Amino acid sequence: MRINKTKAKLLEGKVALGANLNFYAPVIAELYGVMGFDWVWIDCEHGSSNDSEAENMIRAAELYDLTPIVRVPNAFPSTLLRFLDRGAQGLIVPHISNKSEAEAVAQASHYYPLGDRSSATGGRTNRLGAGLTPSEYYEAANKETLVITMIETPEAVENVRAIAAVPGVDAVLVGSSDLTQAMGMPTADKVDEAIAEVIKGAKAEGKIVGVAGAGMTVSNIPRFKHFAQQGVQLLSVGAQELIKQSGDEFLREMNN
């Protein structure tokens, strides 16, 4: 069973820096590992990849101990299971707005006695059956799996403490773009007030907080640093932003 280095880092109170992939590109996942990122956000909600393609990007991440975390397309237990069995060390589950939805995610993401995840002791996460005994594997998988629920609605902001308090939910992650829409497209300061409520609520329950979405671009490093100073530990950048910024700089210098 692989050690989840990002989860360990977060539990030490440190910031874990990730980079996203919302298209099929195992070599870029590998490159993120070479560059020294902590985790890769494999986006299968807004991204184009399916679970089989995600598995290949997970394999690429494993080459450099880059933690593969998948944003799943939905919270169905069968969906969570497929990505976990294919090697995801963490799940980002979108659109969780209340305690009961969070409890269902936690239940489906863990083995007994913490949940009812269907057994897969012969899968790739247990060396294709040549790894740990079933009881050892269940315990290790429960320990190493990182479960992150997304806060994307005013209801979720209001219920953040109840969501964060659910055993088996390790972190909450603000999806600020969807939250902005759900709030009726208010000014940025109003969205930041909601984000501050999430940070305060989650930390009051002793849970990890992440922020992603609006304004979180490579060209806006001060915003990342602002949230890190507020105790936000899960932060990430986008593949397109990384490529675009370096490309823009190259073309600007060469065309001048």
Interval 149-159: pLDDT, tens:
999 999 999 99
Q: Which residue in the list 46, 95, 110, 226 is annotated as catalytic?
A: 46
How does pLDDT run across 118-134, given as a tens digit for each residue?
998 988 999 899 999 99
Residue 214 has pLDDT above 80, yes or no: no
How does pLDDT run across 26-65, given as a tens digit for each residue?
999 999 999 999 999 999 999 899 999 999 999 999 999 9
Query: Residue 1's pLDDT is what?
Result: 84
> 46 catalytic, yes or no?
yes
What pTM was computed for the model?
0.96
Q: What is the Cα–Cα distance from 67 to 70, expressed in whole angstroms? A: 10
Pick the CATH number of 5-255 from 3.40.50.300, 3.30.70.3340, 3.20.20.60, 3.40.50.11060: 3.20.20.60
| Cβ neighbours for 124, distance < 8 A, ≥ 6 positions apart | 85, 86, 87
Chain mean pLDDT for the chain: 96
Q: What is the Cα–Cα distance from 96 to 118, expressed in whole angstroms? A: 22
Query: Residue 102's pLDDT is what?
Result: 98
Domain limits of the chain?
5-255
Q: What separation in angstroms does the CA of 6 have from each of 61, 63, 141, 183?
A: 13, 15, 14, 31
Q: What separation in angstroms does the CA of 187 have from each of 73, 179, 190, 242?
A: 28, 12, 6, 27
pLDDT bucket at 83, cuts 50 / 70 / 90 = very high
Is the peptide bond between 113 and the residue preceding it cis, with omega within 30 degrees of 0?
Answer: yes
pLDDT bucket at 228, cuts 50 / 70 / 90 = very high
In the chain, pLDDT over 90 holds for what percent of residues?
91
